[in-house]
Each structure stands twice: as C-alpha cells, then as structure tokens.
Amino acid sequence: MRYFLQKMLLCLMFLYPVFADSLQHGKYFHEDMDIDLTKYYVSEKLDGFRGYWNGKELHSKTGYPYNPPKWFTEKLGDKPLDGELWIGRDKFEEIIPILNGTNNVEDWHKVNYMIFDMPAEDMIFKERVKYMEEYIPSLKLPYVQMIPQNRVASINELKKVLDNVVVQKGEGLMLHHEDAFYGSGRVNHLLKVKKYDESKGQVIAYKPGKGKYKGMVGALVLKLEDGMIVNIGSGLSDEMRKNPPKKGEMVAFIYNGLTKHGKPRFARYKRMRLSAME
C-alpha cells in the first residue's frame, strides 16, 4: 500500500513545473574533509519533505504546491522560511498521503513545520541562528519550531551525536558553517552527515529474478546522473519485485562508499524518488 501511494504521488508530481526559486542544498560530509568542525552548527537532518514558505505560499523544494488547510499557513508571516514538513522519525512514508491530499485534511494536525533557515535574511548563518531563535517563537504557532542548532568540538563528538540520532531511527545530521550566507544550489558550506551515502538513478531495465524470485524482478538496472549503470536488488520488497517501478522513474538507493572501480559498494534500494517534490 505504501509503495502504491508513493507511485501515485510520483505521477502527480510530473504535472508541476520545476521550482523557479533556487534553494540551497548540502553536499555529503566525509571524515577526510579538511574542515574545522568548531566553525559549524550541527542539527538533525529530519526525514520529511522540504517546505519553503515564500511569504504567501508553501512549496516543495522543486515547486510542488502543497495545499495545507488555511489555519496552517495564515499566521506564518511574510518572511520566507526554509524547513521540513515532518511528523516524526522513521515516518517518511506516513506523511505522503497527508501532503498529497489523500488523507483527511485533519491529518495536517500531525504535521510540524521544522525551520532550519530564513533565506531572505542578509546575515551570516551565525546571525541567522540568533534571529530565528527570536523570530520563530514570536509566531506563537506550536507546530512551527526551529530545529535546534548545536556545536561539537571534535569528530568523535560528532560521531556520538550521529549515533544517538540513528539509534532513535533518525536519518542523520547537517553541518552548517557559521559564516555562510544563504546560497543557491549545491553549496560547500552545508554538509549532510549520515551512516551511509545516498544517490539516485533512473530505472532503465530489469534483471530477472532467480530461485524464490523466479518470475519476478531480481534487480533494478539504474542509470545514474554521471551515466554509470548500477544494479539494485537488495532492499526490494516482494511487492516491488512483482510490480517494479516503471522505466524512466527515479529511485533512491543507499550504499557504503565506493569500490576501487568507483561503483557504489553494498548498494540497496531505499525508496521511490518523488522528483518534483524533492
């Protein structure tokens, strides 16, 4: 059922144009990066959907127009907000029918708007953090909260914070340089910290299943953005093997580093990519 909802939402996504406003996005953090962690704020990376409030409307990061009830947005103010629409850790798929209108509109009461930045404020991030700490509470909306921004002194402390989030079924962390202005596109001052790497690819073919999977899909053949071909079999449910994503659809997968040939190591399926919304 969850897989069906993802595919249904994916179809709806293609009806909408790419978002004109360019939000900033992070790159992946690796331990061998030469950075001073004491210059970065650390926050939890929530596993929800990006929500950009432009002062009038609430959109996904690629322009998909959310349609929340009036009470959800009428007091958000006229200042742009960048955050995550989120209902809790490990509940990504549960929020999909709320955002696409499949569920009862009353389910929006489960949604929190978790703010991590204010794009229009012409300040470095350290100053924006202080500003958000005052501005977000002033809205007096219990479902609108600022994601806590903390500090770590070392890589070991960062790992401990990450372990604590992951054991609670959280996705990971974000590192944001204190002196950075808000940027656009993929920026160097914003880093994703996870226990694994993540990528996406377009389904171009299928490998037939063997043994207990005979007559079903054994693996999805994906084409990555750089043209690399990767087979993803691990992580596929029986339902997906019987009714796989269509050719041309996008899926996300996770992996642990690269092989000596530059291919994702231990690649396994994560979820459908809802392209226009993510």
Domains and CATH numbers, the chain: 24-193 (3.30.470.30), 197-272 (2.40.50.140)
* Range with the poorest average pLDDT among 6-20, 92-106, 116-130, 143-157: 6-20
Q: Which residues pair with 206 in a beta bridge?
A: 220
Q: List, for residues 128-187, the tens digit of each pLDDT value.
A: 999 999 999 999 999 999 999 999 999 999 999 999 998 998 989 999 999 999 999 889
For residue 278, what pLDDT band results from cuts at 50, 70 and 90?
A: low
Q: Which of 121-125, 163-167, 224-228 has the highest average model confidence (pLDDT)?
A: 121-125
pLDDT greater than 60 at residue 192: yes
pLDDT for res 271? 87
Of 44, 75, 34, 80, residue with least CA distance to 193: 44
pLDDT greater than 70 at residue 51: yes
Q: How confident is the prediction for the chain on average, in pLDDT?
A: 88
Q: Which H or E run includes 231?
A: strand 229-232
Angle at 189 between CA 188 and CA 190, to 5 degrees: 95
First to last CA, the chain: 21
pLDDT greater than 80 at residue 264: yes
pLDDT for res 153? 95
Alpha-helix residue ranges (DSSP H) falling in the chain: 2-13, 70-73, 92-99, 125-138, 155-167, 238-242
